[in-house]
Amino acid sequence: MNHIGLKPVHIFFIVFYLMLGCSGLPAPSGSPISIGTVDSIAPRCLLREVPFFAQRDRQCGPAALAMALAFSGVSVSPDDISPMVFTPSLEGSLQPDLISAARRLGRLAYPITGMDALLLEISAGNPVIVLQNLGLRWIPVWHYALAVGYDLTGETVLLHSGAEPFKEVDLKIFQRTWRRGRSWGLLILPPERLPATAALEPSIRAVIGLEKAGSLRQASAGYRAVMDRWPESAAAHIGLANCRYRLGRLSDAEAVLREAACRFPREGSVFNNLAQILSEENKTEEALEAARKAVGCGGPLKRIYLETLEEIKRRMAATGKS
């Protein structure tokens, strides 16, 4: 008897990638530090435990990323990182390459923008990779550094930069050079630790990046962290179930989706994916019921839900259970 297989569960989670949009960089921000931020943080902060690696020529990207990774618990050096992020033809490193390398090493890579976010993250104990233009707008000199402290009273930012650890930079000069780099910053965190300034959709995108990089156990931890902070996130539940499915943990994936079905009774994707897992576990009657519920939810993905329902019916017919 031929086995009539179902399409893998993860193809339906990929739909969530499209619904969330591309994980692009945040919009640039050149706004000054807000009074609310100044009032909510200590006037000075220094992350003394952040390791320092002096950069070699044009290797500021590998050095900055290696320092952030090492602080997050990944034992690496700039030499380890360089082949992953350095582009010889550009004589430098691109931002997406830093993000991709961090994800391949099992770390959450979360872009931020603006001084408020930078100060709040440092105050929370998170160093920030920053991209500066130390030249002019029309003659740029791009440089990555790691922001590890600030002193609002003395109006300075402290950077691991170039060959100098804890380098004091005038706050206004830093803001000017950072603004030329679109005020772009990057957090590198263990997946179970979300940024202090985290928002739901950017957090989901960051964890999706981990999953797409193949860091499934780390992505599972990331989705769980998102669920803990935002229990109302259907995408986080589906993402966690998808990771557990891909790890071969079908019963665990089923448990997550059953919980999601209770929380999100009008979310067709939850019932659709639950139906597929139940079918693979040969729980055909329950699979049929879940697939019908998915179709009943309707929405823009109803055609996919109908295909799943028909697949389950064909499988039941092939096994004589219709």
Which of these, 238, 226, 222, lies nearest to 274 by C-alpha position? 238
Amino acid at 249: R
Question: Does 158 lie in the same domain as 129?
Answer: yes
Q: How far apart are CA 114 and CA 31, in angstroms?
A: 7
Question: Does 226 lie in the same domain as 313?
Answer: yes
pLDDT band, very low/low/confident/very high, at 12 (cuts 50, 70, 90):
very low
Contact of 116 with 41, CB cutoff 8 Å: no
Among candidate residues 143, 158, 189, the one where a domain is terminated: 189
25 pLDDT more than 70: no
Rg of the chain's alpha carbons, rounded to an integer?
23
Which of these, 292, 294, 283, 295, lies nearest to 319 by C-alpha position? 283
Question: Does 184 lie in the same domain as 37?
Answer: yes
Among candidate residues 189, 222, 252, the one where a domain is terminated: 189
Question: What does the H/E/C string look like for 103-126?
Answer: HHCCCEEEEEECHHHHHHHHHCCC
Tokens 């952040």 label which residue? 50
Question: Does 211 lie in the same domain as 130?
Answer: no
With respect to residue 79, please indicate whether it lies within any of the assigned structural domains.
yes
Average pLDDT along the chain: 90
With respect to residue 25, please indicate whether it lies within any of the assigned structural domains.
no
- Could you give the number of structural domains in the chain? 2
Question: Does 159 lie in the same domain as 82?
Answer: yes
CATH number, domain containing residue 115: 3.90.70.10
With respect to residue 24, please indicate whether it lies within any of the assigned structural domains.
no
219 pLDDT more than 80: yes
**What number of helices (H) and strands (E) belong to the chain?**
14, 9
Question: Does 219 lie in the same domain as 170?
Answer: no
Give how far the C-alpha of residue 241 lies from the chain's centroid of Cα atoms, to the nearest Å: 17
Question: Does 121 lie in the same domain as 156?
Answer: yes
Q: How far apart are CA 263 and CA 237, in angstroms?
A: 10
Per-residue pLDDT of 274-301, as tens digits, reads: 999 999 999 999 999 999 999 999 999 9
Q: How far apart are CA 179 and CA 301, in angstroms?
A: 42
With respect to residue 22, please indicate whether it lies within any of the assigned structural domains.
no
Host domain of residue 113: 31-189
DSSP type of residue 159: E
Among candidate residues 189, 213, 237, the one where a domain is terminated: 189
Q: How far apart are CA 131 and CA 246, in angstroms?
A: 36
Residue 167 corresponds to which tokens in the numbers above? 């380098």
Give how far the C-alpha of residue 186 lies from the chain's centroid of Cα atoms, to the nearest Å: 11
pLDDT band, very low/low/confident/very high, at 39 (cuts 50, 70, 90):
confident
Determine the average pLDDT of the residues in 197-202.
96
With respect to residue 58, please indicate whether it lies within any of the assigned structural domains.
yes
Question: Does 120 lie in the same domain as 204?
Answer: no
pLDDT of residue 96: 97
Question: Does 138 lie in the same domain as 53?
Answer: yes
Question: Does 109 lie in the same domain as 183?
Answer: yes
241 pLDDT more than 70: yes
16 pLDDT more than 70: no
With respect to residue 23, please indicate whether it lies within any of the assigned structural domains.
no
pLDDT band, very low/low/confident/very high, at 215 (cuts 50, 70, 90):
very high
Contact of 117 with 28, CB cutoff 8 Å: no
Residues in the chain: 322
Q: How far apart are CA 40 and CA 164, in angstroms?
A: 30
Question: Does 240 lie in the same domain as 139?
Answer: no
CATH number, domain containing residue 309: 1.25.40.10
Per-residue pLDDT of 51-82, as tens digits, reads: 999 998 889 999 999 999 999 999 999 999 99
pLDDT of residue 272: 95
pTM of the model: 0.88
- Cα separations (Å) of 190 from 74, 105, 217? 9, 10, 12
Q: At what angle do helices 302-318 and 268-280 cross, to 10 degrees?
A: 20
Question: Does 182 lie in the same domain as 275?
Answer: no
Per-residue pLDDT of 66-125, as tens digits, reads: 999 999 999 999 999 999 999 999 889 999 999 999 999 999 999 999 999 999 999 999
With respect to residue 3, please indicate whether it lies within any of the assigned structural domains.
no
Residues paired with 44 in a beta bridge = 151
pLDDT of residue 38: 76
